[in-house]
Amino acid sequence: MEWSKLFSNFQSCEVLVLGDVMLDTYWWGHVDRISPEAPVPVVAVDKKEIRAGGAANVALNVRALGAVVHMISIVGEDEAGDELINLLQQQGIQTNGIIQTTKRRTTNKTRIISRNQHMMRLDEEDVFDVDSEDSNSLLTHIESLFSAGKIKVLIFEDYNKGLLTEQLIQHVLDLCKKYHVITTVDPKRKNFLSYKGVDVFKPNLKEVKDALGIWVDQVHLAALEEVHQQLKQHLQHSVSLITLSEKGVFCKDDQDAFIIPSYVRNIADVSGAGDTVIAVASLVYALTKDIKWMAEIANVAAGQVCEEVGTVAVNADRLLDELQNLYPNGLA
C-alpha cells in the first residue's frame, strides 16, 4: 500500500478517545534577575498560551491525521473546562461525550518556561474517582455511539485523574466486545492490570517495571519478550507496544517481536510523545492490523513531536513526507 493511500484511509476511520483530559497552560517569559525576596529567578512573562492535554491531546493527534474523533471525558464547570472544550471543538472533535460537573475542577497544568526550559509547573486538579452517576452517563453515551456501528477503535488514555475506574474500564471493555470495537490502552499505575483482553497495550518500560515489580537491567529483545510474556499472563492481550525512551519502541504479538530504534533528532520536549504514539498506533492498527508498521509509524511520529516545545499534535504532512523518504516503496 502506498503511504498516500494509508493516510487517505485515516479519514474514513471513526475513533472514540476515553480518558482524563486536561488543560496545558504555558507562560513564556525571560529571566534577567534573581528575586530580592528569595534566591529564585524572576520570570518576566511575555505571552500566555493554552493547549489541550492528556487524553485531549490524544484526540488532537488522531484528528490531525484526518480521522473522525469522539472525546469522552469529564471536566469541571469552570473556565478551564470551557476553554478545553472550545479548543477541541475548534479542531472538529466531537465533544458531546464530555460531562461538565460542579463536583470537580478541570485539571490545569501551568508551565513557566524561559529560553525553552521549564522553570516550574503548577497543577490545579481533583483526582478522586468519578461517581456512579457520571460513570453511567458516560457508559450510556459510549453505547449510543457503538450502536450506530461506526466506531472502529476505542483508545483508553489513563492519567490517574479518577475517570478510568476499574468498574468503568470493565464495563467499557464488555461493550467493546459486544460491538466488536478494537481496544488500545495507554495505562497508568493505578489500574495498570485492569485492561484484560485488550488488543494493544502501550505502556512505557518504567511503568511496566513498576507495575510488575521486575528489574530489566539491559534493554534487548530477549529480555523484552520475557516482559511481554509476564504482561500477557495478567492481561491476555494481543499486542504489547512498549516505548523505550531514547531507545525506541518494542513490539510483540504471538508471532513477531522486534525493537525499532529511535532516529537521531534535536529533542526539545518529550511531553506528549506518548499521546502521539498511542494515537498513531491505534489508527494504523485499526486499518492494517500490521504491528510492524504500527510501531514504525508511531515511532517516527513521536520523534517529530519531541522536536517541538510543549504539547503538540503530529503534523500529518510532515509525517507523510518523512515516511515516504524513509520507505519509498510504501507499506511493503
Q: What are 109's strand-pairing partners?
A: 24, 123
What is the full per-residue pLDDT of the chain (332 aa) written as tens digits? 889 999 999 999 999 999 999 999 999 999 999 999 999 999 999 999 999 999 999 999 999 999 999 999 999 999 999 999 999 999 999 999 999 999 999 999 999 999 878 899 999 999 999 999 999 999 999 999 999 999 999 999 999 999 999 999 999 999 999 999 999 999 998 999 999 999 999 999 999 999 999 888 778 999 999 999 999 999 999 999 999 988 889 999 999 999 998 876 666 656 678 899 999 999 999 999 999 999 999 999 998 988 876 678 899 999 999 999 998 988 77
Q: Domain count of the chain? A: 1
Q: Is residue 88 part of a domain?
A: yes
The pLDDT of residue 308:
78
| 186 catalytic residue (yes or no) | no
The pLDDT of residue 217:
75
The pLDDT of residue 268:
65
The pLDDT of residue 118:
86
Q: Is residue 135 part of a domain?
A: yes
CA-closest candidate to residue 161, choices 309, 314, 18: 18
The pLDDT of residue 306:
84
Q: Is residue 331 part of a domain?
A: no
Question: CA 96 to CA 70: how far, in whole Å?
Answer: 8
Q: Is residue 332 part of a domain?
A: no
The pLDDT of residue 305:
86
Catalytic: which of 254, 275, 290, 317? 275
Q: Is residue 144 part of a domain?
A: yes
Q: Is residue 306 part of a domain?
A: yes
The pLDDT of residue 252:
97
Q: Which domain holds residue 112?
A: 3-326
The pLDDT of residue 267:
67
Q: Is residue 111 part of a domain?
A: yes
Residue at grid coordinates 460542579: 102
Q: What are 219's strand-pairing partners?
A: none
The pLDDT of residue 79:
97
Where residue 262 sits, what CATH number does that domain have?
3.40.1190.20
Question: CA 79 to CA 151: how far, in whole Å?
Answer: 31
For residue 219, how far is the Cα from the chain centroid?
Answer: 23
For 193, counting Cβ atoms within 10 Å of its Cβ (0-12 exposed, 13-18 middle, 19+ buried), the class is middle
Helix (H) or strand (E) holding 313: none
Q: Is residue 192 part of a domain?
A: yes
| pTM for the model | 0.94
